[in-house]
Amino acid sequence: MSTTRRAFLSRSAILAASVAGSAAAQTPNPHPNPDAPLTFQPPRRPVIITRETLDNSVTEAYALLEQGADTLEAAIHVCQAREDDPSDHSVGLGGLPNEDGIVELDASVMHGPTRRAGSVAALTNIRHAAKLADTVMRRTAHVMIVGNGAEKFAVAEGFEPENLLTDDARKIWLLWKEHGIGWWGPGIDSPDWKPPVATPPGAIPQAALPSMLQLPRHPTREHLPAVEARMRFLSDRAGRMGIPARLRAEAALQVLWPTTGTIHVSALNTKGEMSGATSTSGLAWKIPGRVGDSPIIGAGCYTDQDIGSAGATGNGEENIKIAGAHTIVDLMRRGATPKEAGLETLRRLARNYNNDMTRLRYLDMIYYILRKDGAYASVSLWSTRGTGEQKKFVVHDGTLRTEPCDYLFEGTTQSIHPF
C-alpha cells in the first residue's frame, strides 16, 4: 500500500507541475507519511465552493453557516435559488425539457455528519429537487426515488406540484422540435460514431439547413458568417412561430447549442462538518427517462466526512463511468491535494477514449472539490469557454470571489452533443 501511495504522489506531482493552479489548491499533503491515516484540522472560517450563480445565494448561505446552520441546509439554499430562477434553463423551474416537452429534474445530497444520502431522478412537476432529495434522506429508508414515484412521494410530503415548463422554455422547445437535432444515434464512445463534417471557415450555409450540426458549439471568429446565417434563419422561424422578439436570439442559441448546465455546492463549517448537493434539469431535449450523473451518489455528488466533498457539471454519462466525485475523494484520502485529485480523475475520463482528441473535444467536465481542512480546487477538462475566457468557479471563505479553474487540456470543447 505504501509503495502505491508513494508512486501516486510522485506521478501526481510531476503531472501537476505543468498546470497552473490556485494557492489554495496547492496546499501540501498534511500527512507526508503515506502509511499514517490522514487527519485534517477544520478551517477557521466556513468554506463554500460552487459554480458562478449571478445571485446572492452564496452570500446568504455563508451567513447561514456563520449563524450555525447545518452545512446541507446551506448547500441546498444555493441550489434552491437556481431552481427558483426561471431564466436559468439548466435547473428547476424553466429548465429546458426532454424531447417530449416535459421537464425532468435530477438531484442528490450527502450529509457528512450523519453519513447519509438521498436522491431523486426523472422528477416531474416538483421544483425543489435538491430539497426533495434531502427529504428522501431524512424521511425514508431509501437513498433514491425516481419518476412518478418521486412525484407522488413529494406530494405526500407537502411539496406543491406545478408545471415546470415556463412559456419561454416551451417556445424554445417548439423551435427545437421543428429545426433541432436530438440525442438518438451513436454516442462518441461508440465505434460507429463519426465526427461531424466541419463547416469551411467563412462558409455561408444554404437557406434551408438543418446542417446546424456542422457548426462547432464554440465557433471562432472564422465561423462568424456561418453563425450569423444560422441565427438569422432560426430567429426568422422563431418570429413566424410567435416567439416574442426578446426571446428569439436565445431560442436560436438553445437550438444550436442546448443548455447542459447543473449546479453543485459543497459546504464546510468550522467544526469540520461537510455536505454536498447537486441539482439539474439535465440535458436539453434528452430522451425521456434519461438520468445523468447528478442524482448518482459517487458520480455527480459525494461527501466523506473524514476527507472532503466533490461534485460535477458537464457530460453526465462520462462522469458516471468513472464515478468521478467518489474517485476524487478517494484520491484525496490517499494523499492527493484537491487539484491533483481532480486532474487525475479527468485523466481517467480521457483514458476511456485512449486520449483521442477527436472524441474528447466533444466532451467537457468541471469538478468542484473541497477538502475537510478548507483546501479547495475546481478543475475542468478544457481550459476555456467559447469566448476564450478561462473557466471560473465561485468560492466563499469569508470573501466571496471567482477564481479560474485548473484544467487538463488547453483549448475549448466543441460540443457535448453526440453528433
User: What percent of the chain stands above pLDDT 90?
Assistant: 63
Mean pLDDT, rounded, for 67-86: 97
Q: Are 289 and 391 in contact (CB under 8 A)?
A: no
CA dihedral (397, 64, 267, 381) in degrees, to 10, reads -70
Say yes or no to pLDDT of 332 above 80: yes
Say yes or no to pLDDT of 76 above 80: yes
Structure pTM? 0.85
In tens, the pLDDT along 79-112 reads 999 999 998 989 999 999 999 999 999 999 999 9
Mean pLDDT, rounded, for 132-157: 98
Say what the pLDDT of residue 1 is: 33
Residue type, 71: T
Give the model's confidence band at 179: pLDDT under 50 very low, under 70 low, under 90 confident, else very high: confident
Say yes or no to pLDDT of 18 above 90: no
Neighbour-count burial of 230, counting CB atoms closer than 10 A to its CB (0-12 exposed, 13-18 middle, 19+ buried): buried
Say yes or no to pLDDT of 145 above 90: yes
Residue where the block lists cell 442559441: 253
Distances (CA, A) of 357 to 92, 201, 297, 409: 33, 21, 29, 10
Say yes or no to pLDDT of 151 above 80: yes
Say yes or no to pLDDT of 17 above 50: no
In tens, the pLDDT along 375-386 reads 999 999 999 986
d(CA 90, CA 77): 17
In tens, the pLDDT along 269-322 reads 999 999 999 999 999 999 999 999 999 999 999 999 999 999 999 999 999 999
In tens, the pLDDT along 118-131 reads 999 999 999 999 99
In tens, the pLDDT along 214-249 reads 555 555 566 667 777 778 888 888 888 888 888 888
